[in-house]
């Protein structure tokens, strides 16, 4: 895990003619220096927190930075800088994973309980835009124009209720199940155990009808991208998948993966057809089966996404030419979201050491397929991370030794 100890420094942002100096207003690592985006030599010595200037501070976007100009993941001095909330979540749960974190020095050093989870319109200042413009999607706005995205960002509603609410009574613990789509759940009979949790997180093609015995039928939080919520309808149609989960009162979390997600949000928030891009003329609200409500819709913050990658899932693939497309899976982001909002997290349907014994998806009940490793995700890194978190008792990872048995196709009358 890439870990840096952080401290809080004051706001300072300066744009100098002929060079651009970006000074973050957020938490900074002890090893982080104030850095010039273009040429630090233009202003002499490296500036620090005590830098004073009489220059004006124009409120304008920095020039667009393009991924094509980099052969590997660029490293900025403010790479490990993240927004934090003023009031981090507190718990009285004696079984809380946050207590297990105390017993794992490496994870404890990497873990930021107060990391800002969600993007909100009123948190996007010009200096924030300029800072995040140094990072590729979904971790920032590299390649994107301020004028293209900002109108949508300004529409992002501030949820009126927290993602997770501790239920009255009981022992004060919030127990969450995070359910992936892995074939290890095929024949697992874990449905009742999953549904017994206070909250159930799902993502992507969460096929439920006909698979309740193995995966349960309850969904409290559904995490998705514009791509996953639309494509899953086609990929899983043959398994009876008709729509994304839409339990009454469900909370939806969007991963802003790319520009198409901002087009999606624009149509979603306005209740209109999308006017441009790959989903042109689509009506996003129809994909939520009447359960979309702006008070229960959340957009993950780019800082949170980057924090998950940088501190827990930084792949060696980022050092090569595929760096621009490599990111943690939707399941990984969902699991870390649960780790920051729940007391007890149990993961089901995630990749394990013996993944070759199971199909790619649990919905593939009548055929044995292989887990597909796409280049944009580091599955081995995630597999090892889930096992490590399980061994440290930070999560409980569902594992089984008996391989999947292929069910016979029902005979037609």
Q: What is the pLDDT of residues 254-283, one digit of tens each?
A: 999 999 999 999 999 999 999 999 999 999
Question: Could you tell me if 127 and 13 are in contact, meaning their C-beta atoms sit under 8 angstroms apart?
Answer: yes
Tokens describing residue 89: 């979540």
d(CA 293, CA 157): 10
Percent of the chain with pLDDT over 90: 72
CA distances from 276 to 225, 261, 272, 400 (A): 17, 12, 12, 46
Q: Which helix (H) or strand (E) holds 147?
A: helix 146-153
Specify the pLDDT at position 404.
72
What is the separation of C-alpha 358 from the centre of its chain, rounded to a whole number of angstroms? 26
Look up tokens 């104030």; give the residue: 34
Q: What is the pLDDT of residues 353-377, one digit of tens each?
A: 999 999 999 999 888 898 889 899 9
Question: Could you tell me if 118 and 300 are in contact, meaning their C-beta atoms sit under 8 angstroms apart?
Answer: yes
Query: pLDDT tens, position by position, for the chain (413 residues)?
Result: 444 433 333 333 333 333 333 333 333 333 322 222 332 222 233 333 333 334 455 689 999 999 999 999 999 999 999 999 887 777 888 889 988 888 889 999 999 999 999 999 988 999 999 999 999 999 999 999 999 999 999 999 888 889 999 888 778 899 999 999 999 999 999 999 999 999 999 999 999 999 999 999 999 999 999 999 999 999 999 999 999 999 999 999 999 999 999 999 999 999 999 999 999 999 999 999 999 999 999 999 999 999 999 999 999 999 999 999 999 999 999 999 999 999 999 999 999 999 999 999 999 988 889 888 989 999 999 999 999 999 999 999 999 988 777 654 444 44
CATH match for 67-405 among 3.90.1480.20, 3.40.50.2000, 3.40.50.1010, 3.40.50.300:
3.90.1480.20
Q: Where are the domains of the chain?
A: 67-405
Residues in contact with 201: Cβ distance below 8 Å, sequence separation at least 6, in sequence order? 176, 177, 178, 179, 219, 220, 221, 222, 223, 334, 337, 338
Tokens describing residue 82: 């993240």
d(CA 103, CA 83): 25
Residue 228 burial by Cβ neighbours in a 10 Å radius (0-12, 13-18, 19+): buried
Look up tokens 């949170």; give the residue: 304
Specify the pLDDT at position 56.
53
Look up tokens 């909370």; give the residue: 251
Radius of gyration of the chain (CA): 22
């Amino acid at each position: 895990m890439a870990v840096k100890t952080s401290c809080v420094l004051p706001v300072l942002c300066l744009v100098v003619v002929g060079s651009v100096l970006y000074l973050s207003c957020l938490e900074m690592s002890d090893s982080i220096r104030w850095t010039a985006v273009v040429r630090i030599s233009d202003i002499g010595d490296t500036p620090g927190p005590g830098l004073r200037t009489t220059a004006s501070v124009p409120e304008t976007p920095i020039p667009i930075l393009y991924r094509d100009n980099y052969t590997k993941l660029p490293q900025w001095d403010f790479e490990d800088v993240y927004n934090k909330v003023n009031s981090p979540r507190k718990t009285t749960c004696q079984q809380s994973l946050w207590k297990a974190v105390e017993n794992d020095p490496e994870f404890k050093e990497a873990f930021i309980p107060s990391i800002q989870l969600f993007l909100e319109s009123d948190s996007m200042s010009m200096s924030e835009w300029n800072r995040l413009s140094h990072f590729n999607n979904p971790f920032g706005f590299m390649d994107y124009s301020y004028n293209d995205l900002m109108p949508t960002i300004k529409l992002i509603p501030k949820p009126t209720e927290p993602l997770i609410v501790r239920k009255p009574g009981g022992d004060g613990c919030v127990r969450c199940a995070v359910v992936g789509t892995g074939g290890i759940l095929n024949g697992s009979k874990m449905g009742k155990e999953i549904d017994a949790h206070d909250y159930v997180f799902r993502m992507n093609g969460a096929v439920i009808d006909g698979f309740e015995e193995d995966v349960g039928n309850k969904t409290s939080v559904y995490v998705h991208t514009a791509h996953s919520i639309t494509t899953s309808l086609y990929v899983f149609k043959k398994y009876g998948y008709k729509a994304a989960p839409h339990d009454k009162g469900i909370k939806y979390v969007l991963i802003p993966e790319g520009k198409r997600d901002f087009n999606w949000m624009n149509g979603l928030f306005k209740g209109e057809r999308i006017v441009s891009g790959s989903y042109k003329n689509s009506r996003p609200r129809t994909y939520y089966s009447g359960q979309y409500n702006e008070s229960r819709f959340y957009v993950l913050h780019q800082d949170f996404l980057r924090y998950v990658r940088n501190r827990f899932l930084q792949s060696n693939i980022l050092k090569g030419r595929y760096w621009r497309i490599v990111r943690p899976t939707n399941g990984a982001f969902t699991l870390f979201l649960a780790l920051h909002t729940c007391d007890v997290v149990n993961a089901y349907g995630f990749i394990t050491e013996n993944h070759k014994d199971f199909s790619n998806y649990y919905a593939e009940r009548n055929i044995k397929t292989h887990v597909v490793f796409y280049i944009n995700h580091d599955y081995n890194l995630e597999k090892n991370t889930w096992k490590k978190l399980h061994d440290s008792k930070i999560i409980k990872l569902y594992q089984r030794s008996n391989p999947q048995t292929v069910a016979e196709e029902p005979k037609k009358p």
